[in-house]
Every structure is written in structure tokens, then in C-alpha cells.
Chains A and B, each alone.
Chain A
């Protein structure tokens, strides 16, 4: 039988079922640019990054790969950049048989 020692924060990350995006951390834009691989790894684990401006005067928002948010932002971006009609119009087009 193998036994592994898991220390405090690591144990919390593995065992927690609190519905929160772990691991999370606040980083500036430059820190994110300088640690892209680590940021991607955190996001892929279900974590989130709180994004600050380099001068730390502005809390810009949150980086996340939360599927729901990513999907909805993606659809909104396609609509807002004019590549897709608004959802209500798309549904109406679908009802009229005008979609592929």
C-alpha cells in the first residue's frame, strides 16, 4: 500500500466541494502575460484569475474557463461583432426554416 502526504492547501484543493473556482489568485495583466502556462493550468483545473491593471488601481474582472460563461460570452461576442444576428432573431429565423 502506498501512502502520500498532502499538505494543508493541497488537501483543501483536492477535497473541497464548496462550489468555488479553485485554485484562484489575483494577478496583474503583466503577471498574466509573464506566466501564461501557469495561468492556463490554473484555469484548466477549474480555477479563476482575478485580473488587475498593472498599476493595481483597477480590478478589471475575472479570467475563467467556466463552460457556461465561456459559451455565453462567445455567443455574445459573435452577436456584438455583427457575425451573428441576435438570439431572438436567430430563433425566429429557425422557426421560419431560414437556417441551414
Chain B
């Protein structure tokens, strides 16, 4: 099955451009990596995003998205770790498969900081996941 990354929604492109150069480079690196590993990020576990099977990649400044071997350096925060110590940024995305066309599509819903000033990256992703499948706002 062929994996295609959908062109970024204008809102997501704007979020990407709002990041500094290093974070932009990392985010673009992870988006490209999704073409090889579409299920790289774990699924969301709570709320509407969980029911939609939305996934997210955690990333931080020290990451190397091009390093394909081994686990993601950022990973999830360990249970004993301070909640503020984990990677701050997220790429929230959907994977959908058109079996008959043999195409797997990845749609990036939002990029940005998690648990920040509302609407944070998860809230924006939730709104967009619904919006992009409706003809009226």
C-alpha cells in the first residue's frame, strides 16, 4: 500500500511557519518520516481524538527525526518524570486507508505546543478533524 502525505492545510502550514527554524526542521522531518512509518505516533487515548483514531508524535529540540533505528528519542514521559519535563511539541495526524485504491493517506491536523494556552494543539486538531469532512462550518 502506498502512503501519501496530504498537502498541509493552510492553518497547519501557518502553525509550522510560526515555529522557529529548528522546530520547523524537526516537524518537517517527522512529517516526511511518516511516509515510511505511518503509525509512528501512538493513538490519542482520550476524548474525541481517541474515537477518531488520531495519532500524535511528541517531539523536542534534541530530536533526530531522520534516525530511523531505535525508539524515538523523545518518547513519552516516564511515569516518575515531572509532567513539565516531557517533549513540548506535537504533530497530530490522521491515517486513513483507501483499501480498494491501495493508498494510505496521512493528514496532518495540527502542529504545535501541547497543554499550552487554549486552543492548544489537541483542541485545534479536534476542530479540524471534524471541519475537513463537512461542507459547512
Interface of A toward B, CB cutoff 8 Å:
67-68, 71-72, 74-75, 77-78, 80-85, 87, 90-91, 93-94, 98-100
Within 8 A of A (CB), among B6-56: 6-9, 28, 31-32
Q: Interface residues of B: mostly helix, strand, loop or mixed?
A: mixed
Chain A minimum-CB-distance residue to B129: A74
Q: Which residues in A have their C-beta under 8 angstroms from that of B77?
A: none
Asked whether B28 lies within 8 Å of A71 as measured between CB atoms, the reply is no
Rounded to whole Å, the gap between the CB of A51 and the closest CB of chain B is 18
Asked whether A71 lies within 8 Å of B96 as measured between CB atoms, the reply is yes
Q: Which residues in B have their C-beta under 8 angstroms from that of A82?
A: 135
Q: Which residues in B have their C-beta under 8 angstroms from that of A75?
A: 96, 98, 105
Number of B residues contacting the other chain (C-beta, 8 Å)? Answer: 26
Chain B minimum-CB-distance residue to A85: B7
Asked whether B6 lies within 8 Å of A91 as measured between CB atoms, the reply is no
Asked whether B98 lies within 8 Å of A71 as measured between CB atoms, the reply is yes
Neighbour of A100 across the interface among B31, B94, B98, B132, CB < 8 A: B31
Q: Which residues in B have their C-beta under 8 angstroms from that of A99?
A: 4-7
Q: Which residues in A have their C-beta under 8 angstroms from that of B99?
A: 68, 71-72
Chain B minimum-CB-distance residue to A80: B135
Q: Could you give 18 example pairs across A and B, Cβ below 8 Å?
A: A67-B97, A72-B98, A72-B100, A75-B96, A77-B134, A78-B133, A81-B135, A83-B131, A84-B6, A84-B132, A87-B101, A90-B105, A91-B2, A93-B7, A99-B4, A99-B7, A100-B5, A100-B31
Rounded to whole Å, the gap between the CB of A42 and the closest CB of chain B is 15
Rounded to whole Å, the gap between the CB of A43 and the closest CB of chain B is 10
Bound Cα distance from A94 to B94, whole angstroms: 18
Asked whether A77 lies within 8 Å of B7 as measured between CB atoms, the reply is no
B92 touches A (CB below 8 Å):
no
Asked whether B4 lies within 8 Å of A91 as measured between CB atoms, the reply is yes
Rounded to whole Å, the gap between the CB of A97 and the closest CB of chain B is 11
